[in-house]
Amino acid sequence: MAHALSLVVALSTRSPQPPSPSSSRSSSRPSKLGGRNLRSNASDAGRRRGPVSPSHKTQKLNSEVSPHRAVSAVRLMRIELGGAFADLLNERGKGPGENEMGYVERTLGFRTRELDDRDLRLVTDVVGGTIRWRRFLDHLIVSLCHDQSTFRHMEPLLLQILRIGMYEIVKLDMPPYAVVDENVRLAKVALRPGAGNMVNGILRKLVQLKESDALPLPKLEGDDHAQARALATLYSHPVWMVRRWTKYFGREEAIKLMVWNNSEPSYSLRANTGKGVTRADLVKHLDMLEVPYELSLNMEDFVRIKTGMQIIIRAGLLKEGTCAVQDESAGLVVSLLDPQPSDCIIDCCAAPGGKTLYMASCLSGQGMISAIDVNRGRLRILQETAKVHQVDGVITTVHADLRDFAGNNPLKANKVLLDAPCSGLGVLSKRADLRWNKNLEDLEELKELQNELLDAASRLVKPGGVLVYSTCSIDPEENEERVTAFLLRHPEFCIDPADKYVPGEFLTERGFYFSNPVKHSLDGAFAARLLRAL
């Protein structure tokens, strides 16, 4: 699964749009913000939709309101109510452009001052953290309101301001009464004095409870379901995820996984060898920019960074195609396919193209990749980025549904990659919003889609060729079980063990590739290399 950040520059010029289900790597169904008054009742936020009905109050600069909190509140509403993707709105180091600041002004009724570097970092931390800890924060709000009805009928903007204040007090350990004062001011100016009074009362009560170590936390008691609900609140995940991970991995590993998902993510940069850039060249750039990094121990073209993305963006390294943001777990999937110069490869669900671009860089200008995807807009982004990376000469994009294409086209290849649409349960540390957009019914639908796509992809593999099936999920039902079912339907394929292509620590007992977020400190990913008989 190619993470959206791998195309950060190309995407930054567009408003985030939800991908269509067939081409999406995560198959979430975000609601659209269109026609909805953001100050209306929040209880039906997931059902009622509509454009922002902006307030036209003063439209003047308000220098007293905390700009990072104002921007964060509007971003959070766009993510929760409008279906915007948190990784696009909240890319590390990428500040709000004119469009977003205009949106803030139209939503709140006033302008804030421009955000400086510190503000940008705070927006990133607050938006990402508030989304991750949403269930826990809402538990605190309900506990302090002493009334479920008050919470259910709370205005969206007021709810986001309360979440921000609680997150800053409980998780960021900011000076508590400064946090109270700033969020009260935002509520009063953006809503009304009474809203500010409510924020003041709830946040001050929270400060008192925190200082006396008496936060109203759920207790781990009762039957398995009750304990799962308590764990889901304490670690801020959906109950169904907690129950599923406890079933497959055990409680201790499930808790470790939730802790990982709630931690600040790190990112990897891939040197663009297709443009002649080596990792040593990339390291020189990072040294000059004074961005701290670690060399990847798994991939020779990759480095890891924890901070400094804003500096890298401003220096133009992504825009110029010197490097790409890509997790090593995705790079290892490409290693499993083993692209070589002169190969002809079919990438079945290519867009937005992180793996496509990496495979193209491995071809050294020789060979061809047919990049198929059902989403024309995302294919266009792939084409534009391929030009920046100087690998467009070996990439041909094909706008089609793979299932139709495979049945009506004679194209076949010795190497075929199916990076299938999946739940994205392996990338929850980066896609903070994804956990709230998934349910068990989604997984059942995805499993059927994955089966159909696997069957279609298999028809594109020449005798003696290779099919790599991959996901960015850690769920066995999307991974090993889909491969097992496929092999029963297609006895002409067999498992080609991954030990020749990826480090041994990523191997499963059956010879599949699997990256464990807790064990490997990477995104979770799975891939199987399958050989077709001659």
CA distance 361 to 275: 8
216 is in an annotated binding site: no
- Closest by Cα among 428, 421, 418, 412 to 443: 421
CA distance 95 to 18: 21
DSSP assignment letter at 358: H
Peptide bond into 352 cis (omega under 30): yes
The amino acid occupying position 168 is: E
355 is in an annotated binding site: yes
- Closest by Cα among 1, 19, 4 to 377: 19
349 is in an annotated binding site: yes
353 is in an annotated binding site: yes
373 is in an annotated binding site: yes
524 is in an annotated binding site: no
354 is in an annotated binding site: yes
Q: Transcribe 92-152 into DSSP letters.
A: TT----HHHHHHHHHHHSSB-PPP-HHHHHHHHHHHHHHHHTHHHHHHHHHHHHT-HHHHH
Cβ-proximal residues to 35 (8 Å cutoff; 6+ apart), any chain: 49, 50, 51
Joined tokens for residue 156: 């969206």
Count Cβ neighbours within 10 Å for each residue of 399-419 and write b for 16 or more, e otherwise. Answer: bbbbbebbeeeeeebebbbbb
CA distance 107 to 68: 15
Joined tokens for residue 414: 């010795």
348, 362, 422, 472: which is the annotated catalytic residue? 472
What is the bridge-based pairing of β-strands 525-532 and 461-471? Answer: antiparallel
CA distance 418 to 402: 10
Query: Does the CA dihedral 378-318-268-305 come out positive or negative?
Result: negative
195 is in an annotated binding site: no
Q: Is 362 a catalytic residue?
A: no
Query: Does the CA dihedral 54-55-61-67 come out positive or negative?
Result: negative
419 is in an annotated binding site: yes
- Binding-site residue numbers are 349-355, 373, 401, 419
Active-site annotation, residues: 472
Binding residues for S-adenosyl-L-methionine: 349-355, 373, 401, 419
